[in-house]
Amino acid sequence: MDNTNNILEVNNLKKFYPIRGMAIGKRKSYVKAVDGVSFSIKQGTTMGLVGESGCGKTTVGRTILRLHEITGGEVKFEGRDLSKLSGRELRRLRPQIQMIFQDPFSSLSPRLPVGEIIGEAVKEHKIVPKSQYRSYILKVMRDCGLQPQYFYRYPHEFSGGQRQRISIARAVALNPKFIICDEPLSALDVSIQAQIINLMKDLQDQFGYTYLFISHDLSVVEHISDTIAVMYLGSIVEMGEKKKIFANPMHPYTKALLSAVPVSDPDIKMNRIILTGDIPSPANPPSGCKFRTRCQHAMPICAEREPVFKAYEDEHQVACHLYPQE
């Protein structure tokens, strides 16, 4: 596989949280929020990371940014291992990797006007000279669909969609190369979601941004992504090009997720796959295949051996005992 154009490479990433309150003498236990995740993203493309709530999607994004310290594995951004950077080196790199958070209201300071929210980090990292500061912020606002008169207004004066535009403007104002989008549409109405998706695609076309788009909504991910990774209980179970994932889903979990996507044509009846049981605890995952306790195709070997994550066609990988493991 050609890695020359990869802006981000994640190799066997792990993030474990120790369980507090353990009895003295007992073996220390961990919540394995992210357990051996590997993927790469090419410059200027979008990778969608999907899965049920609690599967570890957001933790992957925050660990890449080192908002959470890495337990194991490596995260390489343009060839540099972020886990080995000092605090000073990481601070210098921060403008190049930004994040758009899920809730635009709680992620924006209620005490600052829009101009300062967008420009606070611009000043800190000296992105432009002081003489150009105001004109630069106004340009960023225009690029994100915000009117100049919003410069002195506060977040509570805006709708949810406008607040998310402010969050996007705050991220792109630093001229980043890579942006992690943590479910940026889940708090918005459907009509507003389409506007924000189109804005993000327009910005990507204009400035060449690379996105990691975290979501549980496959219909949104299909619209914006080039590649898709499906995550379950801290691990990626299937990954590939968007067209291949939607045309030929291989993992039973992916098939179940796709069966729940609404179809606009009332004459088409989807064969809905209902998953039985609850998601196991990441502190005590099942042996072998983590999905076997909810899988209708589970076999004895699924409990004995963890399936190998391998490619069965070009740019399409899956971890499942339904396919040859050798």
pLDDT in tens, 63-109: 999 999 999 999 999 999 998 999 899 999 999 999 999 888 888 99
Identify the residue whose tokens are 């792990």: 14
Given a cut of 90, whether residue 1 has pLDDT beyond it is no
With bands split at pLDDT 50, 70 and 90, how would you rate the model's confidence at 111? very high
Write down the pLDDT at residue 29. Answer: 83
**DSSP symbol at 306:** P
Write down the pLDDT at residue 190. Answer: 84
CA 115/CA 152 separation, integer angstroms: 6
With bands split at pLDDT 50, 70 and 90, how would you rate the model's confidence at 269? low
The half-sphere exposure of 297 on its side-chain side, counting CA atoms within 13 A, is 13
At 297, is the secondary structure helix, strand, or coil? coil
More confident residue, 293 or 187: 293
Q: Report yes or no: 233 and 51 within 8 Å, Cβ to Cβ.
A: no
Residue 165, phi then psi, degrees to nearest 5: -65, -40
Q: What is the pLDDT of residues 4-40, one digit of tens each?
A: 689 999 999 999 998 875 555 566 788 999 999 999 9
Residue 83, amino acid:
S
Q: What percent of the chain has pLDDT over 90?
A: 75
Torsion sign (Cα): 300, 301, 304, 310: negative
Q: How far is CA 326 from CA 11, 27, 269, 301, 311, in A?
A: 22, 35, 37, 14, 11
CA 264/CA 267 separation, integer angstroms: 9
Instruction: Give the E-state strand segments of the chain in sequence order.
Output: 6-18, 30-42, 46-50, 72-77, 80-81, 97-100, 178-182, 210-215, 227-232, 235-241, 309-313, 316-319
CA 155/CA 108 separation, integer angstroms: 7
Asked which of 75-79, 266-270, 285-289, 317-321 is least confident by mean pLDDT, the reply is: 266-270
Write down the pLDDT at residue 234. Answer: 93
The span from the first CA to the last CA of the chain, in angstroms, equals 20
More confident residue, 112 or 189: 112
The token pair at 315 is: 């740019």
| Segment (H or E) for 123 | helix 114-124
**DSSP symbol at 101:** -
Nearest alpha-carbon partner for 117 in 76, 79, 146, 86: 146
According to DSSP, the residues that pair with 46 across neighbouring strands are 211
**DSSP symbol at 150:** G
CA 57/CA 65 separation, integer angstroms: 13
Write down the pLDDT at residue 268. Answer: 64
**How high is the mean pLDDT of the chain?**
91
Asked which of 68-77, 107-116, 217-226, 273-282 is least confident by mean pLDDT, the reply is: 273-282
The token pair at 224 is: 């914006």
The token pair at 30 is: 């961990």
Nearest alpha-carbon partner for 145 in 206, 92, 211: 206
Q: Report yes or no: 8 and 97 within 8 Å, Cβ to Cβ.
A: no
Given a cut of 80, whether residue 261 has pLDDT beyond it is no
More confident residue, 144 or 326: 144
- Dihedral angle of Cα 137, 143, 144, 149, to the nearest 10 degrees: 50
Q: What is the pLDDT of residues 226-239, one digit of tens each?
A: 999 999 999 999 99
Mean of the pLDDT values across residues 293-312?
93
Q: What percent of the chain has pLDDT over 70?
A: 94
Nearest alpha-carbon partner for 75 in 88, 55, 59, 95: 59
CA 272/CA 190 separation, integer angstroms: 22
The half-sphere exposure of 78 on its side-chain side, counting CA atoms within 13 A, is 9
